[in-house]
Amino acid sequence: MTFNAAALLLLIAGLALIGWLAGRARSNLLAGRAGTKLHSRPQYHGWYVALWLFAPAALFLAVWASVSPALITNQVLTSEAAQSLPAYGFERGAVLSDARNVALGNQAKVRMPAAAPLVKPYADAAHKYAWIGIAAMLALALAGGLYAFTRIKPDFRARTRVEKIVMLVLLLASLVAILTTFGIVLSLLFESIRFFRLVSPAELLFGTEWAPTSGAPQPDTFGGIPLFWGTILIGAIIAMIVAIPIGMMTAVYLTQYAAPVVRKWVKPILEILAGVPTVVYGYFAALTVAPALREFAVMLGIPNASTESALAAGIVMGVMIIPFVSSMADDSINAVPQAMRDGSLALGATPNETIRQVLIPAALPGVMGGILLAVSRAIGETMIVVMAAGLSANMTANPFASVTTVTAQIVKLLTGDQEFDSAKTLAAFALGLVLFIVTLLLNIVALRIVKKYREAYE
C-alpha cells in the first residue's frame, strides 16, 4: 500500500459526488413536506455538502503529500539498519533514494548493496504513513460531509455560502500571479542584499568597468554603466528609431487609409507577429542581419565593426516591437473623436494635414504611453541580445561595435555550473533587481499616461 495522491484525489472527488447527490436528495425530501419552502434550490445544498466534503480533505492531501516523505525518511533513519549508513552528504542521500525506489516499486532491485537492508524499513514506514494519511483524509472528508449534511434545513442559506466559497476560489486564483510576483521580488531582493554586502550599490550603479570574471590577479569589478548604456543603446535608442516611425506609419495607414478589407487582414497578422518567439528573431538577427551589417560597415570603412553589433540586435528588436507600437498607436488614434477629424476636414484640410496636425497631436499622450511600454519591453528582452549583441562590455556610441546588455549579462552570469554564493553569481540578481525596478517604473508611468489620456476623451 503506497500513498498515491492522484488516486486519492479521485476517491474524494467520488465521495464529493455522492455528497452532492445526498445533499440534493435531502433538500428535495425536505422540500417535499407540506408547507416548507427552501431558501436555496436543491443543487446548492448538494454543492454545499460536496464542497465541505472535498475541500478540507483535498487540502489535507496536499499538505500530507509534501510532508509525508520527510516523515518516512525520519523513521527509516531511526531504524537499526540505518546506523550503518555513511555519515554525510551525497552518498547517504544516494543510498536512501536507492532504497526508496525499490521500496516504492519504482525499480526492481537495489543498485547499491548498502541500500538493501534499508528497503524493508522503508517499505514499512511508507506503508504506515500511507495508512495514517488515508485514514485522516477519509475522516476529514466524512466529518466535513456529515457536518454540511446535518446543516441542511429548509431555511438554510446554502446558496449564499456556496457563492461565497466560489468567490473565495476566484480570489485565490487571482492572487496566484500577484503572490508569485511578490515572491520573485523578495528572492531578487534577498540575493541582491547579499551581493551588496560584497560590492557597494554605488559601484554597480555608477562604476564604468564591468569585469566580473577577470580572474585572480585582478580583482573583479562590477561597474554597471557599460551594461546600462548597452541596454539603452539597443533597447531605447536603436530599437525605438526603428519601431516608432514604422509603427506610427502602420497605425496611421490602418486607421485612416486602409480599406476595411485590408485592415481586417493586416491587423491580425501584425498581432500574430507579436507572438513570434523571440528566439526566432534572435536567429534572424545573428545569422542574417548581423553579418550583412558588418559587411556594410566594412564597406563604409568603419573601424572595429563586429559581427555582434548593437545595430543588428537593435534593428531586429525594433522590428519585433513594431506590432506593439502600432497597436498602441492604433488604439490612441481611434480614441480621438471623429468630431475632431470632421472639424479639421470641414475647414478644408486634406486628410494628410488632418492626420499630421490634429489626429497625431491629439493621440500623442496615448502614443507616448505605448512607446514607454515598448521601451520597457525592449530593455527586458533577452534572447535577441544574447544571440546578436555579444557579451563584451564596451562603452561606445558606435552602433557597429559590440555592446552588451543587462539581460545578456544575467544569462552569462547564471549559465553553466556556478556557486550560488560568489559575488559573480549574486551580481546577476542585483542586475535583475535594477532591471525590474526600471521596467516597473516605466510601466507605471506609461499606464498612468494612457489612463489619463483615455479619461480625457470619455
In the numeric block, the cell 533587481 is attached to: 433
- State which residue, 83 or 338, has the beta carbon closest to another protein: 338
In the region spanning residues 252 to 311, those forming contacts with another protein, defined by CB under 8 A, are 260
Among residues 61, 75, 70, which one has the least CA distance to residue 15?
61
- State which residue, 180 or 350, has the beta carbon closest to another protein: 350
Question: What would the DSSP string read from start to end of 110-179?
Answer: -SSGGGHHHHHHHHHHHHHHHHHHHHHHHHHHHHHHHHHHHT--TT--HHHHHHHHHHHHHHHHHHHHHH
Least Cβ distance, residue 267 to another protein (angstroms): 17
- State which residue, 189 or 349, has the beta carbon closest to another protein: 349
Contact indicator for 231, 313 with CB cutoff of 8 Å: no
In the region spanning residues 319 to 348, those forming contacts with another protein, defined by CB under 8 A, are 337, 339-348
- Sole window of 24-32, 95-103, 200-208, 358-366 interacting with another protein (rule: CB under 8 A): 358-366
CA distance 85 to 404: 50
Least Cβ distance, residue 446 to another protein (angstroms): 20
* 416 binds another protein, rule: CB under 8 A: no
Among residues 251, 386, 268, which one has the least CA distance to residue 331?
251
**Options 357, 420, 437, 440; binder of another protein; rule CB under 8 A:** 357
Least Cβ distance, residue 371 to another protein (angstroms): 19
- Between the two ends of the chain, the Cα-to-Cα distance in Å is 65
Site string for another protein, 123-162 (x = CB under 8 A): ----------------------------------------
Question: How many residues are recorded in the chain?
Answer: 458
Contact indicator for 76, 121 with CB cutoff of 8 Å: yes
CA distance 122 to 141: 28
Phi, psi at 157, each rounded to 5°: -90, 65
- State which residue, 342 or 421, has the beta carbon closest to another protein: 342
Among residues 129, 128, 130, 109, which one has the least CA distance to residue 118?
109
In the region spanning residues 157 to 196, those forming contacts with another protein, defined by CB under 8 A, are none
* 450 binds another protein, rule: CB under 8 A: no
CA distance 10 to 175: 26
Which ranges of 199-309 would DSSP assign to H, the alpha helix?
Answer: 201-206, 225-231, 239-252, 260-273, 278-283, 290-300
- State which residue, 290 or 362, has the beta carbon closest to another protein: 362
CA distance 204 to 434: 10
Least Cβ distance, residue 366 to another protein (angstroms): 12
Least Cβ distance, residue 347 to another protein (angstroms): 4
- State which residue, 183 or 337, has the beta carbon closest to another protein: 337
Dihedral angle, C-alpha 288, 290, 291, 292, nearest 10 °: 80
CA distance 368 to 446: 7
Least Cβ distance, residue 263 to another protein (angstroms): 12
CA distance 80 to 437: 55
- State which residue, 154 or 365, has the beta carbon closest to another protein: 365
**Options 91, 155, 353, 421; binder of another protein; rule CB under 8 A:** 353
Least Cβ distance, residue 442 to another protein (angstroms): 25
Contact indicator for 3, 130 with CB cutoff of 8 Å: yes
* 350 binds another protein, rule: CB under 8 A: yes
Least Cβ distance, residue 223 to another protein (angstroms): 45
* 349 binds another protein, rule: CB under 8 A: yes
- Sole window of 72-80, 322-330, 351-359, 380-388 interacting with another protein (rule: CB under 8 A): 351-359
- Sole window of 133-141, 179-187, 303-311, 355-363 interacting with another protein (rule: CB under 8 A): 355-363
- State which residue, 295 or 353, has the beta carbon closest to another protein: 353
Contact indicator for 255, 336 with CB cutoff of 8 Å: no
- State which residue, 85 or 362, has the beta carbon closest to another protein: 362
- State which residue, 368 or 423, has the beta carbon closest to another protein: 368
Q: Judged by CB under 8 A, how many residues of this single chain contact another protein?
A: 19
**Which stretches of the chain bind another protein, using CB under 8 A?**
260, 337, 339-350, 353, 357-358, 361-362
